[in-house]
Structure 1
Amino acid sequence: MKIRETVRLDHPPETVWPWLVEPARLMRWNERLRRCLPEQPLVAGVRYSTEFGFAGKPATPFWLEVEERIESRRLVLRYRSGPGVTPPVEALERFELVEAGKGGCTLRHQVTIRAEGVPCWARMLIAVISRLGKPSGPHPLIALLAEERN
């Protein structure tokens, strides 16, 4: 299952990049991410312990590893479900920043979720739940970047 979004931002990739790789900032715009340890920028070679919360449910543990990191351009993260999560879930999250002229950029964000042993109806439910609670209107990153600018 793939979930995609594209967001036009009025900031250059270098300004947006910290919001993708610094856990404290990432949690401010991705409200489903409840915890990310250690609290250091996301880099290859470090295994991060994370927790995600969905639709008011208790947080679910995931391990996070950086698959690819090209400064201010591309970040690819791999998530694997933590202890006690059945059936096992794996996700690949890809962020791409593309310069868009006039000092801005486009953020292309894609999440691919693989859950072995999960029936088709449950995957469809996951897709629906993942979209619930998304704010209507502008992407939260737009407001946070504008706030930081001021």
Structure 2
Amino acid sequence: MPSFSHSVELTQPPEAVFPWLLEEDKVPQWTSDLQSYSVEGPLAQGATVRQTLEVAGGIKLNMEIVAYDPPRAAETRFETNGVKVVSEYSLTPNGGGTTLTQTLEAKAGGLTGRMLIPVVQGRLEKKLTADLERLREVLSGS
């Protein structure tokens, strides 16, 4: 899957936006199809995030936080069904607000992964776009 990015303009500064990206009490407020979400240990590089999505009977993901640089950037990685996924958040000050960009890159590790990516790519891009738009709505109401 070629990488996919989506950006949203937010009225809050990066310091106010960054906590919404990975904190346990905030992520469920804007992430669709989320059954459960928890962070093991302190929220920092090396922490594990466990989440279950209501897709295909419940997909359980164990994501590793591989970069944690508040309030500028964060990156997570996980692997499922032979596909390695890297998700990166970048926050750029924009006047008094923030441009938030999420970039997702998936690489197939085998035949199953290569077959799976074309099937889920469009749905995943729509989900990520809708989730970031929902985050903008949640933050504009707070």
Fold conserved between structures, TM > 0.5: yes
In structure 1, the residue matched to 2:10 is 9
Structure 1, unaligned runs of 5 or more: 82-86
1:1-150 aligned within 5 A:
1=1, 2-38=3-39, 42-54=43-55, 57-81=56-80, 87-101=81-95, 103-116=96-109, 117-118=111-112, 120=114, 122-132=116-126, 139-148=133-142
Give the 3 Å change call, closer, same or farther, for CA 76–135 of structure 1 in structure 2.
closer
Give the 3 Å change call, closer, same or farther, for CA 119–47 of structure 1 in structure 2.
closer
Give the 3 Å change call, closer, same or farther, for CA 133–95 of structure 1 in structure 2.
closer
**Identity value in percent:** 22
Give the 3 Å change call, closer, same or farther, for CA 133–109 of structure 1 in structure 2.
closer
Between the aligned partners of 2:39 and 2:21, the Cα distance in structure 1 is: 15
1:145 Cα offset (Å) = 0.8
Q: Which has the higher helix share?
A: 2
| CA RMSD in angstroms, aligned pairs only | 2.4
Between the aligned partners of 2:38 and 2:128, the Cα distance in structure 1 is: 24
Structure 1 length as normaliser, TM-score? 0.79
1:28 Cα offset (Å) = 1.6
Between the aligned partners of 1:6 and 1:92, the Cα distance in structure 2 is: 17
Q: How many residues align?
A: 139
Give the 3 Å change call, closer, same or farther, for CA 107–135 of structure 1 in structure 2.
closer
Between the aligned partners of 1:58 and 1:88, the Cα distance in structure 2 is: 18
Between the aligned partners of 1:119 and 1:89, the Cα distance in structure 2 is: 5
1:39 Cα offset (Å) = 6.8
Would the aligned equivalents of 1:94 and 1:109 in 2 still touch at CA under 8 Å?
A: yes
Larger Rg: 1
Structure 2, unaligned runs of 5 or more: none
Q: Which amino acid aligns with 1:79?
A: F
